[in-house]
Structure 1
Amino acid sequence: MNVLPLASGLLAVLLSSGVALAQPAGPLAPLAYHELAPSAVQPTGWLRRQLEVMRDHSTGHLDETYPKVRDRNGWLGGTGDGWEETPYWLDGAVPVAYLLQDKPLLAKVQRYINWSIANQRPSGYFGPLTKAEQQAGHLLDVQGTQGEDWWPRMVMLKVMQQYYQATRDPRVIPFMTKYFHYQLANLKAAPLGQWSEWSTVRGGDNLLVIYWLYRQTGEPFLRDLGELVYQQTTPWTTLLGNRDWVMEAAANQTGAHWMDRHGVNVGMGLKLPVVYAQAHPEQPQLNQALRTGWRDIMTLHGLPAGMFSADEDLHGNLPTQGTELCAVVETMFSLEQAAGMTGDVTYLDALERIAYNALPTQTTDDYESRQYFQVANQVQVQRGVFNFSLPFEHGMNNVFGPYAGYTCCTANMHQGWAKFATHLWYGTPEQGVAALEYAPNTLTTTLGNGVPVTIREETAYPFGDEVNFAVDLKKPTAFPLGLRIPGWCTEATVLLNGQPLRTDKGGQVITIARTWRAHDRLTLRLPMPVRTSNWARNSRALERGPLVYALKIKEQWQESKHPDEGRYFTLAPQSPWNYGLPRAVVEDPARTTTVAVKPVAANAPGFYWNAANAPVEITVSGRRLPDWQLSEGVAPQPVTPREGLYKGPVDPAPETLTFIPYGCTKLRVVALPVVP
């Protein structure tokens, strides 16, 4: 592999820009866990079904159906989309292609990768033709301000990293190395914010790949580039760690510093402190900044499904606030990275809660339509401006449609399930593997000692409480197997070949180190009693295991068409929704609720995240609140005093209420007042 030498002029560039050079350029801090190849995981059961639906619909065919990506695509040399939406789509389509080993989709995404590599400029710049190149009719040796926005190239670098992890294509490392030399040479003349503030607030994605490449090559100049990119990026470490920012975001909805409150930017920015901490393990405040910031965000802006409000800005914790789909998938990716770098179980638990609650509710069964903003207590889905910080004049932010609201989510939603699947397993420093998120799949990988291993994970999780691992080896092999015990679990039981092995408290990763033999079977039991959690205005939500449950509301769908944003769907409630939970349920949820679990078929051929398909139902007594009514299109949360009981009129007759997983709902009430 030929790597370009560090140009002598770059040293002067760095010194004149005030960059503290990393001398000597030693190794980065060890990772708590390392990523496996996307192709190492073969999804099975309901998860495979989810990815197949995506492949058969928008994820596999966006380049055929979405005109902005389809027509004259700039990432194939045309004059069309040359910004973020094509890389966004590829950022999900590439891992889906390798997870499913789908030849047509593999061939489709390969075109964009090949074009980018083959058309890299001599300077190292890559991507769609600049305006000057389009006018010239050929490629130029792009330098400095001759280039264009850094941001879409950051996304494409993530695509290239995943592609390399799956294929080991020898072209990728020199391609990235050359581009990062270009960045180092040009970021002073054309800093991250030269063309758009998006690059400034999202520079952490750039830094992530820089350090990943450094782990592959050890090229010292990458450490210098990392310092420069970090200095030019929005100071998320300071914002997250110093706390004033998150409190101000709860009150300030003006245009001042709005990019620092934009929910998608926050989701991306979360990982910056721990990414940078790889190069600075002597600064424990970096990792602490994310711990502090995540806790503060979820305290002031957190919603029951595991996400924070982001409509588009951080906007408090009332269940009438919205959350953008892009914010969901970007926060998931940041948590996946933070978990791997730090090993902090907090991020793994948070990732699971988002993936199994917030993510599935925001797309339709066919994965063609999505909501720009989901709402926690969503008792109807209609056009309107509602209580969003970015309402848009079309009033299309809450409806389901392929293009409703901004179309960034049309392209970006595909990475959510795809990257979650690739991060079910991680490698460990002790040459073993760790199951850190649970879903049906088969892992096929090579251990650090060079021995191939296959582990079949058979489970109905997150609906069922048992996860089974069947180990397949050609010869007995010693290696450690890590298992996450979720924080919501009081005590887990582990069985080996049907015999009790150990019990463990929740909120940790345990390690089972032994000599494994072919056909060994490990069982993890995670008891899931019903519990309640407290949310805005003393409301309560029902939970069981990793799932939050919401009141099941009958839905009436109606299709319409907007002249600018195309077809869309609205939903009207066909059953009452204005109920309160009795205090007895809060005091003893296990005794006052009934849980009915339907089996999820091993191959789950007909599984969808919808109300008709919900594998679990919780029934409980509740009472109507006649004064709780819609106001300006939403269901404003009733005020409940500090003792926790709703003081308004309550119907005397109890009714039996059915709750289903939040992720299976489109209409719902998840945060309910408590009644006597």
Structure 2
Amino acid sequence: MATLTGNRRQILTASAALTGFSLISTRSALAADLPRKATALPLSDVRLLPSDFKTALDVNHAYLVTLEPDRFLHNFRKGAGLKPKGESYGGWEKDTIAGHSLGHYMSAISLMYAQTGDPVLKARASYVIDELALIQGAQGDGYTAGFQRRRKDGTVVDGKEIFPEIMAGDIRSAGFDLNGCWVPLYNWHKLYGGLFDGQTFCGLDKAIPVAVALSVYIDKVFGSLSDAQVQEVLNCEHGGINDSFAELYARTKDPRWLALAERLYHHKVLDPMVAREDKLANIHANTNIPKVLGLARLYEVTGKPDYRTATEFFYERVTKHHSFVIGGNGDREYFFEPDAISKHITEATCEHCATYNMMKMSRQLYSWSPDASYFDYFERAHLNHVLAQQNPKTGMFSYMTPLFTGAARGFSDPVDNWTCCHGTGMESHAKHAESIYWQGDDTLFVNLYIPSTAKWAKKGVSLRLDTAYPYEGDAKLSLTAMRRPTRFKLALRVPGWAKSVALTLNGKPVEASRDRGYLIIDRVWQAGDKLALSLPLDLNIEPTNDNPGVVAILRGPLVLAADLGSVDDDYKATDPALVGNDLLAGFAPVAIEKARFKTVGIGRPGELTFVPFYSQYERRSAVYFKAFNEADWKIEEASFLTEQARQRDLAARSVDVMHLGEMQAERDHNLESDVSWPGTYRGRNGRDARSGGFMSFKMNVKPGPLVMQASYWGDDRCEFDILIDGETLTTVSHKTPVKPGEFFDEAYPVPEALTRGKTTVTVKFVPKEGRSTGMIFGVLLFTAAPSTAA
């Protein structure tokens, strides 16, 4: 398919794509042209001008001021024996993970204060810190937390109960659960982040004594454990707790916290990264990205090269081998095999938290060695995933951003649907100006073309950036005020996708050098100087990294999507395809200023309208397309349409699906098990139960005939019963290989008597004595196909 030009690696590598400069010197630039390190301009010194980013910020600001700190503090006070002042929020805040949202809230309001100067937000951050100090006083030992513990009998109690058990060596750690508590260390990591942001952005130094007091308690817990026991604890998701203590060390200079940070190193996951081995497949993405952020912070405070090696290797693998076109990663929250994007375009792609953290990593790596390619990834994710994650009409946030054709984005509720991505959403949309401008030595970098004003205090410069990018390719940078004419360098990022660029100063050609993806102008500047940058926003085809016949369409950095209609209408059509010997020639502009295009002669089964993907908040979309030339389409059309119809029919009839072996799915379906283990095989997650054990879980049902489908590996030998609410549905017996060398599905009709009058049932797999269930890779309940009998 020669017409499918470009690939993901080329697009995410800035310097390789710069050709055809206009009005610019193309002399080679020495590495000394740019500083070796950089820091972002303070968020308080940058203000957004009208744009979709400013709209997202304003909508989030309006939402944050409606939230009540006392509702977040409900469990914190209750656990300390103090009367709560407000009812807790809903969603995860009413589960055993309760309390994590307080940290996100603290970070969000602190960032928003820096971005807007709203004194109400600073006052609320100050109030929360005072409350936490009061709670620690009531606890008497520095402890403060909102998470809870579910005992084996189902009773829910304060989460502090688990720590004496752990200190005594009774450690029950798996996935998301630690002794009946949902990710307590992850929870604390969020709280530390909120405390640190309160100090950084609101100047609230009193946050640090609260952080230190809590750390004394946590250090006591880990001080009771052997190194092997620490690793057991770390098998439960712990966020970036290593980052928390590295940051506390950086702020207090107390070596106690550095020692603790380095001790909380998860060998199982991090050692392969130090060795530059990609073993990411089938691990939970956002469980592990924060651990690497912790290594990055440890590198900054210790200079140990292994920490940097692991961070850089992980970032390269995720952004170039595990990421979708919008910059997100993960399918059902998990990494999969590298370079396998086309096999994982589902309704559960791109958890926002994972992208939020990868963008943090971009910033850290960039600060160590400024290179425009880091912002090619950052911009892609910021524009196409983060902006897509907040509905500007409601201010609410999505958990996943599905890339499956026809899928709808689901958005949270302001009160009753708190999740991790609701929390990171509040943060992401409070800091859209944090990465536009960077400084290093005598250089000012412009990395993102977002309308804004800024103050560069070091040089006494005020500036303004005007642009309609990415809808237009022109950006104008004006130096609006200076103390005096001053010499410095301005470095303008040229995106990796740009095939050419034009630059003028005060309306005339200007000589610029090139280094690491930047145009650099070194001169004596004065107030009133104006730079004008022009980038051609060409359409581009980006194939998936494993299949050139599955493609996405971009215009500059903007991912385009086919508009498939309102989310209020079910999508039952055949997945669209693109057919032609020159696909780009088949796109015609409809409203170029809005990046709207239509296909002419290449859409199948009909022509398509393409719009910016992020703007499809309440619309259904197609992002990835099977692409064919004319000859191949004639061969593939019949089988393609038949398979698409089969998959669409099954999806339409689906009632519930259980992804066995995946932590979140198992928790959502209330999995219970004994003598049962999760595992992976051939890139698929699953779970087995062995003789004397079982696995059971809840599934939704609906009236009428249903069918249960289970997925197996064809070589497994197994014998077990499947029960529904204690009644035997069927006995499965695979005493010899059924389909050697491949996965297969078996379907079992479900008698209506087992589901009549019910909305949920308990499905249980019980192996026969001396046998096992074999690995089961998923269970699907769907409605039976209508009878075709006359």
TM-score by length of 1: 0.70
Match of 1:69 among 68, 72, 77: 72
What is the rounded CA distance, in whole Å, between the counterparts of 1:113 and 1:155 in structure 2? Answer: 14
What is the rounded CA distance, in whole Å, between the counterparts of 1:227 and 1:435 in structure 2? Answer: 35
Match of 1:671 among 624, 638, 641: 624
Describe the shift of the 1:68–1:115 C-alpha distance in structure 2 as closer, same or farther (beyond 3 A): closer
Describe the shift of the 1:341–1:187 C-alpha distance in structure 2 as closer, same or farther (beyond 3 A): farther
Please tell me whether the aligned partners of residues 99 and 146 of structure 2 are also in contact (alpha carbons under 8 angstroms).
no
1:487 aligned onto 2:499: no
Amino acid at match of 2:191: M
1:593 aligned onto 2:596: no
Match of 1:545 in 2: 556
Describe the shift of the 1:508–1:288 C-alpha distance in structure 2 as closer, same or farther (beyond 3 A): farther
1:536-615 superposed matches below 5 A: 537=547, 538-557=549-568, 572-573=570-571, 578-585=576-583, 589=584, 591-595=585-589, 615=594
Match of 1:477 in 2: 486
Amino acid at match of 1:407: T
SS in 2 for 1:468: strand
1:319 aligned onto 2:327: no
Amino acid at match of 1:442: T
Describe the shift of the 1:220–1:624 C-alpha distance in structure 2 as closer, same or farther (beyond 3 A): closer
What is the rounded CA distance, in whole Å, between the counterparts of 1:507 and 1:662 in structure 2? Answer: 29
Amino acid at match of 2:624: A
Match of 2:128 among 92, 98, 112: 112
Describe the shift of the 1:659–1:572 C-alpha distance in structure 2 as closer, same or farther (beyond 3 A): same
Q: Gaps spanning 5+ residues in structure 1: where?
A: 1-29, 137-141, 250-260, 382-397, 558-570, 600-614, 627-654
Describe the shift of the 1:267–1:218 C-alpha distance in structure 2 as closer, same or farther (beyond 3 A): closer
What is the rounded CA distance, in whole Å, between the counterparts of 2:121 and 2:106 in structure 1? Answer: 11
Please tell me whether the aligned partners of residues 192 and 199 of structure 1 are also in contact (alpha carbons under 8 angstroms).
no
Please tell me whether the aligned partners of residues 579 and 624 of structure 1 are also in contact (alpha carbons under 8 angstroms).
yes
1:123-522 superposed matches below 5 A: 125=142, 127-128=144-145, 149-172=184-207, 176=211, 187-189=222-224, 197-198=235-236, 200-207=238-245, 209-210=247-248, 212-213=250-251, 218-229=253-264, 231=265, 235-236=269-270, 238-239=272-273, 241-246=275-280, 248-249=281-282, 261-281=283-303, 283=305, 286-298=307-319, 300-315=321-336, 316-317=340-341, 318-320=344-346, 321-381=348-408, 399-402=410-413, 407-428=419-440, 430-447=441-458, 451-471=459-479, 472-502=481-511, 508-522=517-531
Deviation at 1:304, TM superposition (A): 1.6
Match of 1:103 in 2: 119
Deviation at 1:177, TM superposition (A): 5.7
Tell me the percent identity.
17
SS in 1 for 2:350: strand
What is the rounded CA distance, in whole Å, between the counterparts of 2:498 and 2:83 in structure 1? Answer: 53
Describe the shift of the 1:212–1:78 C-alpha distance in structure 2 as closer, same or farther (beyond 3 A): farther
Deviation at 1:379, TM superposition (A): 0.6
What is the rounded CA distance, in whole Å, between the counterparts of 2:574 and 2:328 in structure 1? Answer: 26
Describe the shift of the 1:372–1:305 C-alpha distance in structure 2 as closer, same or farther (beyond 3 A): same
Deviation at 1:353, TM superposition (A): 0.7
Show CA shifts across 1:370-410 (max 9, x none). Answer: 333222133133xxxxxxxxxxxxxxxx6334289872222
Describe the shift of the 1:656–1:624 C-alpha distance in structure 2 as closer, same or farther (beyond 3 A): closer
496-505 or 186-195, which deviates more: 186-195
Name whichever structure is richer in strand by fraction: 2
Please tell me whether the aligned partners of residues 486 and 525 of structure 2 are also in contact (alpha carbons under 8 angstroms).
yes
What is the rounded CA distance, in whole Å, between the counterparts of 2:487 and 2:121 in structure 1? Answer: 38
162-171 or 68-77, which deviates more: 68-77
Deviation at 1:413, TM superposition (A): 1.5
What is the rounded CA distance, in whole Å, between the counterparts of 2:329 and 2:268 in structure 1? Answer: 20
Please tell me whether the aligned partners of residues 540 and 674 of structure 1 are also in contact (alpha carbons under 8 angstroms).
yes
Deviation at 1:446, TM superposition (A): 1.4
SS in 2 for 1:380: coil
Describe the shift of the 1:483–1:431 C-alpha distance in structure 2 as closer, same or farther (beyond 3 A): same
Deviation at 1:85, TM superposition (A): 1.6
Match of 1:14 in 2: none
Deviation at 1:476, TM superposition (A): 2.0
98-107 or 544-553, which deviates more: 98-107
TM-score by length of 2: 0.60
Match of 2:609 in 1: 658
615-624 or 194-203, which deviates more: 194-203
SS in 2 for 1:332: helix
Amino acid at match of 2:588: T
Amino acid at match of 1:269: K
SS in 2 for 1:308: coil
Deviation at 1:356, TM superposition (A): 0.7
Deviation at 1:313, TM superposition (A): 1.6
1:55 aligned onto 2:61: yes
SS in 1 for 2:286: helix
Deviation at 1:414, TM superposition (A): 1.3
Q: Gaps spanning 5+ residues in structure 2: where?
A: 1-34, 150-156, 159-163, 169-180, 631-790
Describe the shift of the 1:444–1:51 C-alpha distance in structure 2 as closer, same or farther (beyond 3 A): same
Please tell me whether the aligned partners of residues 581 and 621 of structure 1 are also in contact (alpha carbons under 8 angstroms).
no
Describe the shift of the 1:197–1:419 C-alpha distance in structure 2 as closer, same or farther (beyond 3 A): farther
Describe the shift of the 1:498–1:211 C-alpha distance in structure 2 as closer, same or farther (beyond 3 A): farther
SS in 2 for 1:322: coil
Amino acid at match of 2:310: A
Show CA shifts across 1:295-325 (max 9, x none). Answer: 4334553212111124122245232252222
Deviation at 1:290, TM superposition (A): 3.4
Describe the shift of the 1:233–1:366 C-alpha distance in structure 2 as closer, same or farther (beyond 3 A): farther
Show CA shifts across 1:245-296 (max 9, x none). Answer: 12x43xxxxxxxxxxx11222332343443333245462x543433433343
Deviation at 1:211, TM superposition (A): 5.7
Describe the shift of the 1:104–1:275 C-alpha distance in structure 2 as closer, same or farther (beyond 3 A): closer
Amino acid at match of 1:459: T
Matched residues, number: 541
Describe the shift of the 1:224–1:365 C-alpha distance in structure 2 as closer, same or farther (beyond 3 A): same
SS in 2 for 1:276: helix
Describe the shift of the 1:62–1:313 C-alpha distance in structure 2 as closer, same or farther (beyond 3 A): farther
Please tell me whether the aligned partners of residues 200 and 234 of structure 1 are also in contact (alpha carbons under 8 angstroms).
no
